[in-house]
Amino acid sequence: MELFLAPSSLPQRLKSFLRDQGLSGTYWKKLKAAGALQVNGEIIQRDLLLQPGDRVAWTFLPEPCTLEPEEAPLSILEETELYLAVDKPAGLVTHNAGKERTPALSRRVAWYFQTHHISSAVHPVSRLDRETSGVVLFAKNACLHHMLSRNRLEKTYLALTLGHWEQPAGILDWPIGRRPGSIVERQVDPDGQPARTRYQVLGEKEGLSLVRFQLETGRTHQIRVHAAAAGHPLLGDTLYGTPGAPGRHYLHAWKVAFREPFTGRPVEITAPLPPDFRKVWYNKQ
């Protein structure tokens, strides 16, 4: 990673400059000890006073990966030295831990890192339910994971819901908590955590609505719970409204937007609608 102290800036201590970029004091010490930090091309192992125009460069430290890699297809949407964005298919969990051998997107990413000589553990910044498809973002080291997790991710979903929405757009502002007796299910609960979801109906066909949802908070099953509470559960959602429905619930993480760490560059990553979603919607008259 390479950054410059702007020519218009005042002189600044190196440690302070790195802290302003989001690097912790602990990470600064590790970079120094590893000889992974340079100023104007020279390895630096002490704090010093940067001058305007100085070039600061560092190499992120390698991390061991504890996941069991899984050789399987991986649909990459975007990759930089900081992150990897992939398109998760429905029916696959995002992450499992340690040496578990059940299929998981994180294990496929571990295989990709291994075969492309990327010395990083697997750090999912966002996670999707097993049946939800779409964009999942992975940081390429723990430091970046912390920075991206702290950075606001704007998440936009597309879903097929049952029935006609009386209001074509609005905000669902209902707290969400655990359903008593269940470790998985959630419900609207006045004593739960605040939860806000923006929605806009994009189209209607034969009792189905195509709806865009934007999360303002990030509660477990938030869209599924709010849609069901509004009287419009997701098509195929056996947990919150359509028991015995075949297939999967039709929820797709369509877009993730954020500002890239260090550069502040605005980033938007989108995942195309999967074939099963398109087939259900476009086959309707």
Instruction: Give the CATH number of the domain where residue 166 resides.
Output: 3.30.2350.10
Q: Are residues 125 and 263 in the same domain?
A: yes
Residues 49 and 74: their CA atoms lie apart, in Å, by 45
Q: Are residues 53 and 112 in the same domain?
A: no
Q: Are residues 125 and 139 in the same domain?
A: yes
Residues 215 and 251: their CA atoms lie apart, in Å, by 13
Domain assignment present for residue 29? The answer is yes
Q: Are residues 145 and 266 in the same domain?
A: yes
Q: What is the pLDDT of residues 95-141, one digit of tens each?
A: 876 566 788 999 999 999 999 999 888 999 989 999 999 999 999 98
CATH of the domain at 274: 3.30.70.580
What's the number of domains the chain is made of? 3
Contact 150, 129 (CB under 8 A): no
Q: Which residue is catalytic, options 20, 54, 87, 129?
A: 129
Counting Cα atoms < 13 Å in the Cβ hemisphere of 255 gives: 11
Q: What is the pLDDT of residues 67-105, one digit of tens each?
A: 889 999 999 999 998 999 999 999 999 987 656 678 899
Q: Are residues 258 and 144 in the same domain?
A: yes
Per-residue confidence (pLDDT) for residue 98, from 0 to 100: 57
Query: Containing domain of residue 128, as a range?
Result: 76-150+254-282
237 in catalytic set = no
Domain assignment present for residue 68? The answer is no
Contact 57, 18 (CB under 8 A): no
Q: Are residues 244 and 259 in the same domain?
A: no
Contact 260, 233 (CB under 8 A): no
